[in-house]
Structure 1
Amino acid sequence: MLIGQITDIHLGFDPDNPAEFNRKRLDVVLRHLCEPHNRPDLLLVTGDLVDRGDAESYRRLRNALSACPFPVWPCLGNHDMRANFIAQFPDIPVAEGFVQYEIDTGPLRFLILDTLEEGRHGGSFCETRAAWLAARLTEKTDISTVIVMHHPPVEVGIDWMNTHPEEEWVLRFARTIAGKPQVKGVICGHLHRPIVAAWNGTTVTICPSTAPQVALDLAPIDPDKPDNRPMIVADPPAYALHRWNGRELVSHFDTADEHVMLAKYDASMQPLVRALMAERPD
């Protein structure tokens, strides 16, 4: 099974511009994903769907995603607004006022979480949301499960974007999934970078954004002393493909720009392919 992921679209950053930069970046990623080569079975869209939470940007996003020839399943990030999202995406399930729901594909189960606290940049995961997740994790314990949410629960070292490991919502989330071996991974966005980390006995995978990326700078930052470091960079729009092989979730990251081909599978490369595959057990 092949799972696509895009994140941090920030549509509407340039409001009233139908040809805005972030829309162009989204469209080129969707074109890549819709091509037959590496086309996913479903697409996860992991938050910050729009930049200002406005209804018009959600309408434009819905139109952009409607061309996808596979199911599309979104969750909310800190730039989103629940009421406007729900109005434009009425088919997405809601649980007790939060955009939380289950996707059961047969070989793999996804639990989509809502980590939005409107007005706060970082994540949130209250008792109501935790109780919903706990109830779902007591069901179908024999089915491999992936948790999908916007905010990563792991500290990654980019100081101004970090999640502190002692934040209340992180501790609550960690308690909720503790001792649940069916959880095979946590898929997130928010950081605008490709990152993979071991965390509390599982793997957290963070997808780079379709919008511009966050610069990689692991030096401490002083909120009282601007130092002119780069913060946002115009690296190409990106996406992830997660392959479920029946045992593990294997994640790949790619950009949607042009790749210069240095070799192709022709007769000259056939001996190498045969030799590599001959080394594997039957």
Structure 2
Amino acid sequence: MLIAQVTDIHIGFDRGNPEEFNVRRLLAVLRRIAESPQRPDLLLLSGDLTEHGDAESYALLARLVESCPIPVAPMTGNHDLRGPLLAAFPDCPSHQGFVQYAIELKGLRVLVLDSLEEGRHGGGFCDVRAAWLAAELAAHPATPTVIALHHPPFESGIGWLDCDAREPWIARLAAALDGHGQVVGLIAGHLHRPIHTLWNGIPATVCGSSAAPVALDLTPLDLAHPDKRAMITDEPPVYALHYWNGTRLISHMEQGGEIAVLARYDSAFHPVVQTIADERPE
């Protein structure tokens, strides 16, 4: 079972430009996914789908993914607005006004959470959303489950972009997940970098961004003194491929665009593969 994740797309950053930078980066990622040797079972668009939450940008995004041969699941991020998102993706489920729903895959469930708090950069997760999550987990205690949300519920060290781990919404999320052993992983976006950690005993993976990434600088930032450090860079766009092998969730990250092949599985490379295979127990 394979879940492709594309996050932080930010369509409409340069509205009206047919050669928009973020559109070109997204297309490079989508081409890479389409040309890869394996076909995912699901394409998860995990928030910040647009820059301004406008109907025009959502409509453009819907057109860009409409030819995708696999199901597409949109999610909310802090740059999104629920109304225009749902209008552009009319088949997307919602619950009491939140873009929150379950996806049933073969032997695996994905619970899509809505961590949008409109008007706020950081996340949110109210009692209504938490009650839905707790009920979904309680109803399927034996089915391996992946939790997907835009905002990571932990601090990464990129302090200017992080959510504060003490925020009430994070405690509410943790309480809803507590005691549910079928949760095999948590996947998120928002931070524009590939990151992995263990949060409350749950493997948590942040997917790198489709739009321009955040510079990796873990030194403290002084709000009173801009120090001209790098903030946004032009590294290649990234997507994640989450592989459920029936036992655990294994997450791979790959860049979009052209990738040069330096070796192929031919007669010259075969001895390398054979040597590694010979070391494995029969």
SS at match of 1:205: strand
User: TM-score with structure 2 length normalisation?
Assistant: 0.98
Give the secondary-structure state (helix, strand or coil) at the position aligned to 1:160: coil
1:81 partner letter = L
Contact 1:103/1:110 (CA < 8 Å) preserved in 2? yes
The alignment-based identity, stated in percent, is 53
Structure 1 segment 151-166 matched on structure 2, within 5 A? 151-166=151-166
Aligned to 1:106: 106
Offset, 1:144: 0.1
**How many residue pairs align between the two structures?**
282
Distance in 2, Cα, partners of 1:226 & 1:92 = 42
- 1:90 aligned residue: 90
Q: How far 1:106 moved relative to its partner?
A: 2.3
Does 203-212 or 32-41 show the bigger shift? Answer: 32-41
Aligned partner of 2:221 in structure 1 is 221
- The question of 1:74 aligning with 2:78 is answered no
1:150 is displaced (CA, Å) by: 0.3
Shift of 1:259: 2.5
The answer for the alignment partner of 2:55 in structure 1 is 55
Query: What is the aligned partner in structure 1 of residue 28 from structure 2?
Result: 28
Structure 1 residue matching 2:147: 3-state secondary structure: strand
Once the 2 structures are TM-superposed, how far is the Cα of residue 275 of structure 1 from its aligned partner? 2.3
Equivalent pair of 1:77/1:150 in contact (CA under 8 Å): yes
Q: Which residue of structure 2 aligns with residue 212 of structure 1?
A: 212
Partner of 2:2: 2
The answer to whether the 8 Å contact 1:154/1:204 transfers is no
Task: Write the mapping of 1:175-190 to structure 2, written as runs, cut at 5 A.
Answer: 175-190=175-190
- Residue type of the alignment partner of 2:169: W
- Unpaired runs of 5+ residues, structure 2, are none
Q: CA deviation at 1:265?
A: 1.3
Deviation at 1:257, TM superposition (A): 3.0
CA distance in 1, matches of 2:96, 2:210: 30
Q: Is 1:174 aligned to 2:174, yes or no?
A: yes
Runs of 4 or more, structure 1, over 6 Å off, are: none
| Pair 1:15 & 2:15 matched | yes
Could you tell me how far 1:36 is from its partner in structure 2?
4.8
Partner of 1:138, secondary structure, is helix
Identify the residue that residue 242 of structure 1 maps to in structure 2: 242
Instruction: Quote the residue 1:197 is aligned against.
Output: 197
1:133 to partner: Cα distance: 0.4
Superposed CA deviations along residues 37-74 of structure 1, whole A, max 9, x for unmatched, are 13211111100000000000000000001111111111
Amino acid at match of 2:147: I
User: How many Å apart are 1:281 and its aligned residue?
Assistant: 3.1
Residue of structure 2 equivalent to 1:37 = 37
Instruction: Name the SS of the counterpart of 1:232 in structure 2.
Output: coil
Q: Which residue identity does 1:268 align to in structure 2?
A: A
Deviation at 1:278, TM superposition (A): 2.8
Q: Structure 1 length normalisation: TM-score?
A: 0.98
- Give the stretch that moved more between structures: 198-207 or 271-280: 271-280
Cα distance in structure 1, aligned partners of 2:216 and 2:201: 26
